[in-house]
A = this chain, B = another copy of it.
Amino acid sequence: MTYFVLCIHNHQPVGNFYHVIEECFEKAYWPFLKTISRYPSIKLTLHNTGFLLDWLIENRPEYIDLLKTMVEAGQVELMGGGYYEPILSVIPEVDRLNQIKMMSDRIFEVFGTRPKGIWLAERVWEPALPTTLKKAGVEYLLLDDYHFVKSGLDREELGGYYITEDQGKIIKVFPGSEMLRYLIPFRPVEHLEEHLKGLAGFLRLGNAAIYGDDGEKFGSWPGTHKWVYDEGWLEAFFKMIEKNLSWLRPVTMSEFAGGEEHLGRVYLPTTSYMEMGEWALPATASRTYTELVEEMKSWNDGPRIRRFLQGGIWRNFFSKYPEANWMHKRMLLVSKALNERMERTVLVDNITKARKCLFMAQSNDAYWHGIFGGLYLPHLRRSVYENLIKAENLMDSESFANTPADEPAVSVIKGDFDADNNEEIAIRTRDLNLFLSPRRGGSIVEWDFRPAAVNLSNTVSRWYEGYHNKLESVAGEEGRGEAKSIHEMVKVKEKGLEKYLKYDKFQRTSLLDHFLGGEESLKAFFANDHKELGDFHTGEYKNEVKDGVVELCREGKVNGKGVSLKKWISMDGDNSFRIDYSIAPLEKGVFPEECRFGVELNVILPGCDGPLCYYELVPNSVGAVDTGLGTSVEANEVEKISLVDKFSGVILTIGVDRPATLWSFPIYTVSLSEGGFEKIYQGSCLLFLFPLAGAEKRKHGIDIGFTVKCESIEGVK
């Protein structure tokens, strides 16, 4: 007797577009469920993540009805998990417990049953997890056989589940078969049948074929709908199982874990599936590793080496992308505030709502990047910030309840908010949050307009990716769409993407201070080919907070000579603030002829580069500049610029006390998605330039002032 465990995981990230979910439903989730429902002997263990489950309940009651019947009939076992599919190990334990409980409660409410197992998001395992999982009442979970192989087990020993534990708290762990993931649903059913028939002879321990994978592979991945349904793969698969019921017994995971004993004790390393290890490494190491794994496929020694190979761990994404780290630490900040509040108070309505927002912000997809968009997708990141800001708004609505609405409330707090061992400064009003990093050029790393729940500085810089070389290798080739590289097919969504491979040397935050020579151009600045004369844009600023005003100052160098730069950020009501600069040379002959001072801002509005999002310049004299890429503009004598986003209903207006030259260009990243390489708009760089000629003659150097205002557009949203 060989047991067959079929476990399917359907997932939609929080913030995903309705039409994408709808398409996945029509092409995969729904036809899959309908088909398997006609084969009642085929047992299924099914996981729908919370955001998707809510969508199904609201929009596709017929799916829920059918599923309910199947659950009641015992054909389907429902699996739990963190409600919004967070990476469990990087969220606070109290949130882990509550997210798992929330999912269990929801399943109980809808289906009248409680899950015993969980799907571990992205199979990101850490050895200390069992303690939390046991507290949450979890009995089992599914990982990859890769995890077990990394612990020195042979695949022949993986015909069942093992136990692992932390501090004596046991969890049952199932090794999902990599071989089955290659066969299902990608190979002819006969191959699968042959494999299953051979399993009894192959396995030294246990008697089960364990398959667990994403439901999107059954119809939603490119090309799979035709193969799985139109060409009948899925029916053939189920018929094959039915034909072999004499020796092949489909079971749910609970049935198996309840009826069969564990195969032993195992301790799994901090890892996920093999590919995640490639993605989590720093870009250069990732490239080396990926190439090695690829190359080894043709080596005799390949398999013997491969079982001991391991890439980076998931947490490394916080090191790889400062944007992911900030988002994560910002989430921790909200979680801390919320959980402290929850300890002090009963679960009033707003706090419950705030907690739901926090949990939605913990949805993993926006925090990392592999071969799907992930972190590179602005709408996923926006969803994270939107939920975090909403959670804070809900919490503050409590605190502000007794404060008069016409009284401006400014709070300035210092703390190492992003866990970089340096203090940041948080300025908060009812309408704005500004997070300043003195260490990183005294710049703004987060800039929230709270009424719209938007983080205007939610950009991603142009980082080098280990896979970029694949794009370069096809640059010379003709045609749009598919192109061959040495090792594999490389898909590109549009031609010429390799030209967009410009790299940033530091994160594009706002209020970065540059000193540029007269020969510099927008084009050079865009391409990072320019020369920085000063050390302010990456330097450390001293800071002082007085009466709600933040003073940032640095005595740095320009052309190797001393310059003092001070900037003050002062709130001006709830929704606007001023930035005042004072720049003074400390030595003679600091500034070369035609030297300019530049203040760089990088912003992204929710409408992104869509038709509802545009500039308004005062005065309106714009010169288009050909950077070769995108619509960059150069404008002189600018007094004011408004960024209008009719999509989200936000206007950001930046006024300058003295006319400035403005260089503006879009930031495009080039990244991998399931459809191939694509460029994505990550925000706009605005560089305000001021001549420094004559600055040395004046007593106190030169002064520059900005007025910044964020407003809602009436009637939008």
Contact = CB atoms under 8 A, between A and B. Distances in A.
B127 A265 contact: no
Contact of A126 (B128, B329, B420): B128
A590 interface: no
Question: How many monomers of this protein are in the complex?
Answer: 2
Contacts of A564: none
B329 A168 contact: yes
A315 interface: yes
Contacts of A271: 269
A310 interface: yes
Interface in A50-75: none
For A150, A265, A420, the residue with the greatest tally of chain B CB atoms inside 10 Å of its CB is: A265
A619 interface: no
Contact of A421 (B262, B308, B313): B262
A224 interface: no
A305 B305 contact: yes
Contact of A316 (B169, B267, B312): B267
B310 A150 contact: yes
A556 B694 CA distance: 101
B152 A316 contact: yes
A626 interface: no
Contacts of A318: 265, 267
Nearest to A262: B421
A89 B325 CA distance: 25
Given A319-B265, A332-B168, A270 B419 contact: no
Interface in A153-171: 153-154, 163, 165, 167-170
A473 interface: no
A230 B304 CA distance: 46
Contacts of A264: 319
A282 interface: yes
Given A308-B310, A313-B269, A169 B126 contact: no
Interface stretch (A22-30, A189-197, A283-291, A364-372): A283-291
Contact of A292 (B128, B154, B262, B308): B308
Given A304-B288, A416-B170, A128 B89 contact: yes
Interface in A258-283: 262, 264-271, 281-282
A169 B415 CA distance: 12
A151 interface: yes
Interface residues of A, number: 55
A173 to B, nearest CB: 12
A311 interface: yes
A269 B89 CA distance: 13
A304 B309 CA distance: 11
A516 to B, nearest CB: 27
Contacts of A610: none
Given A170-B419, A269-B270, A329-B168, A282 B126 contact: no
A533 to B, nearest CB: 23
A92 interface: yes
A265 B419 CA distance: 9
B419 A127 contact: no
Interface string A399-438: 0000000000000000010011100000000000000000
A127 B262 contact: no
B305 A292 contact: yes
B167 A267 contact: no
A289 B308 contact: yes
B282 A163 contact: no
Interface in A320-355: 325, 329, 332
Interface string A3-38: 000000000000000000000000000000000000
For A169, A312, A329, A332, the residue with the greatest tally of chain B CB atoms inside 10 Å of its CB is: A312
A583 to B, nearest CB: 26
Contact of A163 (B152, B153, B307, B421): B421
A90 B151 CA distance: 17
A309 B312 contact: no
Contacts of A269: 269-271, 310, 312-313
Given A126-B126, A304-B292, A152 B282 contact: yes
Interface string A108-135: 0000000000000000001110000000
Contacts of A308: 289, 292, 309-311
Nearest to A328: B168
Contacts of A127: 89, 126, 270, 313, 315
Contacts of A169: 419
A420 B318 CA distance: 36
A174 to B, nearest CB: 14
A332 B167 contact: yes
A522 to B, nearest CB: 31
Given A92-B167, A170-B419, A268-B313, 16 more contacts: A126-B126, A152-B281, A152-B284, A152-B285, A152-B286, A152-B289, A154-B285, A165-B419, A262-B421, A265-B420, A269-B310, A269-B312, A285-B307, A292-B305, A308-B310, A308-B311
25 contacts: A126-B127, A150-B310, A151-B281, A151-B312, A151-B313, A151-B316, A152-B284, A152-B312, A152-B316, A153-B282, A153-B285, A163-B421, A165-B419, A169-B419, A170-B416, A172-B421, A264-B319, A265-B420, A267-B313, A267-B318, A268-B313, A269-B313, A285-B307, A305-B309, A310-B310
10 smallest beta-carbon distances between A and B, as pairs? A152-B285, A267-B315, A152-B281, A270-B270, A152-B282, A310-B310, A265-B319, A128-B128, A168-B419, A165-B419
